[in-house]
Amino acid sequence: MSSSSPTPFAKLPAPPYYIVAFSSCRTDGDNGYGNMADAMVELASRQPGYLGVESARGDDGFGITNSYWADEESIKAWKAVVSHAAAQRLGRERWYEEYQVRIARVERAYGFDR
């Protein structure tokens, strides 16, 4: 990664906190996905309890977005935000062949930085 890029790693507090692990396979074509994805990250980042997000997608269309939240209540509140609910509907109608979501409580964490 270029040293001039912003880091793709979320800066997180010490556990406990929550992770929403979102795995997805995209349909072909953009169909407005890119703009909506950017808008949803911006909107999520202003939600109470939002801690950060990390995302990667390969050339095969399979991607993982792990978002981090203070608690379960924050996750449920974000899921119910009106424009997010609209994006979820378009996700099922247009953008995703399949997605799987797992909600988990982070109990420990560690890392390495060169």
Chain residues in the site for a copy of itself (CB under 8 A):
1, 5, 8-10, 12, 15, 18-19, 21, 23, 25, 54-64, 66, 72, 91-92, 96-114
Which of 47, 55 has the CB closer to a copy of itself?
55
Instruction: Give least dist CB 73 to a copy of itself, A.
Output: 13
Using CA atoms, how far apart are residues 69 and 47, in angstroms rounded to an integer? Answer: 10
Residue 66, beta-bridge partner list: 21, 54
For the purposes of burial, counting CB atoms within 10 Å of the CB of 43, is it exposed (0-12), middle (13-18) or buried (19 or more)? middle
The H-or-E segment that residue 36 falls in is helix 33-44
Instruction: Give least dist CB 49 to a copy of itself, A.
Output: 16
Which of 35, 58 has the CB closer to a copy of itself?
58
Using CA atoms, how far apart are residues 72 and 74, in angstroms rounded to an integer? Answer: 5
Instruction: Give least dist CB 18 to a copy of itself, A.
Output: 8
Residues 96 and 23 sit within 8 Å (Cβ to Cβ): no
Which of 6, 35 has the CB closer to a copy of itself?
6
Instruction: Give least dist CB 57 to a copy of itself, A.
Output: 6
